[in-house]
Amino acid sequence: MRQISLLFASLVLLAGCGDAPAPNQAAESSPAKPAVPAIPPEIQSAANGFLGSETTVLAYGDLAKTGTQQVLAANVVPKTPKDNIPGTIVSRAMIAELQDGKWMEIFRCDEHLKNGKGFMAMTPLEPVTGWRLQFEQDPVLGLTVYMTPVKGMDDKHQLPIGIRWNPKVKRYQTLDRSYEQFLGESPALANARSRLH
């Protein structure tokens, strides 16, 4: 009986001495995940110039499909609310465009939505302190940004406000609720609710 126990123990030891890699070795030999491409320093510097050093670049490149370099950046809120609605919570966001070698802000979202012509249609009348930002890039239409107020509004079921480059007027404008027609802007906040463009 003792010989059988010794034989069994030695078989167990021999089975443990195989060529299989240890768990740590297996993890090291598996292919590494590709690194997220770094934001070019000139893009990050441009974004920081508009929103400060806590700026996150969300997208950059020919965002409007006009052949011009643009950057979408935001001040991302570090702690996201616990609901499961997709998007990034931001306090401010902007789009800047490289014009004649200089970065120019062409869209801003802070307490309101604005472009170079004024307050964009559908911007809330009362100040908004936080926005849920989502965006998509279409190979033909370019960047569409969806902004939803998350703070400072009584209605918790706000629909996103769509924003896209309008090639006819050469600026970002808000879209109607079908996300097909562009809406104008107003120099005064009280008149910014909606003007079909």
Report yes or no: 106 and 98 within 8 Å, Cβ to Cβ: no
pLDDT of residue 156: 57
104 beta partners: 97
Question: What are the φ and ψ backbone dihedral angles of 3, each rounded to 5 degrees?
Answer: -65, -35
Q: For residue 68, which of 108, 114, 99, 30 has the smallest C-alpha distance?
A: 99
Residue 74: the pLDDT is 97
Q: Of 97, 101, 98, 77, whose CA–CA distance to 89 is shortest?
A: 77
Domain range annotation of the chain: 41-191
**What pLDDT shows up at residue 27?**
45
Alpha-carbon gap, residue 167 to 67, rounded angstroms: 12
112 three-state secondary structure: coil
> What percent of the chain lies above the pLDDT cut of 70?
71
pLDDT in tens, 120-178: 999 888 899 899 999 999 999 999 999 999 864 445 567 899 999 999 999 999 999 99
The answer to whether the beta carbons of residues 133 and 144 sit under 8 Å apart is: no
- What whole-number percentage of the chain has pLDDT above 90? 60
Q: How far is CA 189 from CA 2, 146, 158, 164, 176, in A?
A: 92, 20, 19, 20, 18
What is the reported pLDDT for 157?
67
pLDDT digit string, tens, across residues 157-166: 678 999 999 9
Q: What is the maximal distance between C-alpha atoms in the chain?
A: 97
Residue 4 in this model has a pLDDT that exceeds 50: no
